[in-house]
Structure 1
Amino acid sequence: MTDETIRPADARDVPAVRAVTDAAYRPYLAAIGVAPAPMAADHAADVAAGRVFVTGAPVVGLVVVEAFPGHLFLESVAVHPDARGGGVGRRLLTFVEARARALRLPEIRLYTNALMRENQRLYPRYGYEVVERRVDGPYDRVHYRKRLLPGVS
């Protein structure tokens, strides 16, 4: 990766956002039995709404976030399989936390499919705690949150 900055995506990034998201989530198709929700997202609308932030030139990782009263919702983290193990995911999660703090939001929330077992090992290492497990349509989801203390990373 030649560029480690994380920046808001723009309309020119939509094909890369789609490609990275599809590549990142494709391995879960067989296990889940349906396309993971991020694969079906309206990427152009998310980019236009300012919810997508990308890294890399070319794009190798991204997050989709949305601010709500009281929390920042982390809808998706996607790292292209070719870029895994290089710290891209860690940098994106650090960015999400900084974004929540900049927006003065005390909490980050996210969910992951219960069959994405590596995520259930990953998120607690970054300070996320399980809130609940809930079935939403075809998805069995584990919901997490990370409470942010003022002035603490």
Structure 2
Amino acid sequence: MQKDPIRPALPADEAAIRACAHAAYGQYVTAIGRKPAPMEADFPAQIAAGHVHVAKDATGALLGYVVFFPEAGHMHLEAVAVTPAATGKGVGRQLIQHCEEAARRAGLGAVHLYTNQKMTANLSMYPHLGFVEVDRRSEDGFDRVFYEKTVR
């Protein structure tokens, strides 16, 4: 993947983003007992609001996406997903770094996110990327683990 080929999503990207969400998060349906929140996202509204950014390869194929927006003095990272073909190639890390850079440009000092407690790979990945666990609680029927990262 080229250095930072990430751009805001367009309405034409919606079907590929939805397919990526289903491929990335579908594996957790059984463990959680229902679809993870990103599988139910209103992608057209998120795209229209400018909250979704996509990474594509040189052919224009979607590699992954990230959803983030400013909220109460920090950047909220809502979701990040990578296609099965791009998994393990650093795409997710680049998408998260893109969010962090957007937070810095906006003058926000931190990125906040949460993940489902049953998504165990995330519980080690986010600390590896510099995020610190700050809370665990049930919210909207999901058992969530909350993380923050200072990005000044």
TM-score w.r.t. length of structure 1: 0.93
Question: CA-to-partner distance for each residue in 1:3-24, whole Å, 9 max, x for gaps?
Answer: 9500000111111111111111
The answer to whether the 8 Å contact 1:3/1:55 transfers is no
Give the corresponding residue for 1:85.
88
Post-superposition shift, 1:137? 3.0
Question: CA-to-partner distance for each residue in 1:106-144, whole Å, 9 max, x for gaps?
Answer: 010000000001000000011100110010132000000
CA distance in 1, matches of 2:100, 2:139: 26
5+ residue gaps, structure 2, are: none
Runs of 4+ in 1 over 6 A off after TM superposition: none
CA distance in 1, matches of 2:139, 2:2: 39
Identity %: 45
Q: Which residue, 126, 135, 148 being the options, matches 2:151? A: 148
Give 2:61's aligned amino acid. Answer: P
5+ residue gaps, structure 1, are: none
Q: Does 1:72 align with 2:75?
A: yes
Give the corresponding residue for 1:17.
17
CA distance in 1, matches of 2:151, 2:77: 14
Post-superposition shift, 1:148? 1.9
CA distance in 1, matches of 2:2, 2:29: 30
CA RMSD of aligned residues (A): 1.4
TM-score w.r.t. length of structure 2: 0.94
CA distance in 2, matches of 1:34, 1:83: 25
Post-superposition shift, 1:63? 0.2
Give 2:39's aligned amino acid. Answer: M
